[in-house]
Chains A and B, each alone.
Chain A
Amino acid sequence: QQQVKQSPQSLIVQKGGISIINCAYENTAFDYFPWYQQFPGKGPALLIAIRPDVSEKKEGRFTISFNKSAKQFSLHIMDSQPGDSATYFCAASRGSGSRLTFGEGTQLTVNP
């Protein structure tokens, strides 16, 4: 079964700190790994995505680190802000236009 396992389930960080969320996948055919941010009562919004030909991608305060041999990837949020408080989902797919397999989600709380 295609699975993406995400941890931690919840995370509390102080303002200005670094938030780190980890995901691991099983299917080596996955070649597209996006991260989504979801606020309560809203649909997910694409944050950043990476393909396995690079080990890191950075966009503003958000960085994805990718370890192909370990089949793991992580999201780092630098200088975390209270406005970053949301649920974050990692996902994986075979190609960017294909069905996504989602992780279980991480509820991030950034305290002021």
Chain B
Amino acid sequence: GAVVSQHPSRVICKSGTSVKIECRSLDFQATTMFWYRQFPKQSLMLMATSNEGSKATYEQGVEKDKFLINHASLTLSTLTVTSAHPEDSSFYICSAIREGRGTQYFGPGTRLLVL
């Protein structure tokens, strides 16, 4: 089956620092990847759509200068949380669309804790 990985799985950082999260499709090419955040006991909220070779499309209310997304290849998208603050603490999940199939596969998530 299609596998999507995320790295790191868990990160703790100090307020004001930047954190990069990687999302990789391990056995398929993904022209489109999505980034979600999920707070405890809540649903997934789409943050942005990442397309290979072009600028990401951000959802309303998501600061593009704070959440930098780069989709440099067909297997890798990165989310950088800049100047992180405690309110950015959340579970960040990426997903990838398998090219030619249309099925969306999710990564295992990254737990971010900002102190």
Contacts and interface: CB of A to CB of B under 8 A. Distances in A.
Interface of A: 32, 34, 36, 41-46, 89, 95-97, 99-100, 102-105, 107
Given A43-B93, A43-B109, A44-B93, A96 B44 contact: no
- Give the size range of B's interface with the partner: 20 to 34
Nearest to B106: A43
Q: Interface residues of A: mostly helix, strand, loop or mixed?
A: loop
Interface string B76-114: 000000000000000101010100011111111101000
Give the interface SS of chain B, mostly helix, strand, loop or mixed.
strand
A97 B32 contact: yes
Contacts of A45: 106
Contacts of B54: none
B46 interface: yes
A65 to B, nearest CB: 21
A97 B106 contact: no
Contacts of A102: 43-44
The interface centre, meaning the residue of A34, A97, A107 with most chain B CB atoms within 10 A of its CB, is: A97
Contacts of B6: 43
Contact of B34 (A34, A42, A99): A99
A80 to B, nearest CB: 21
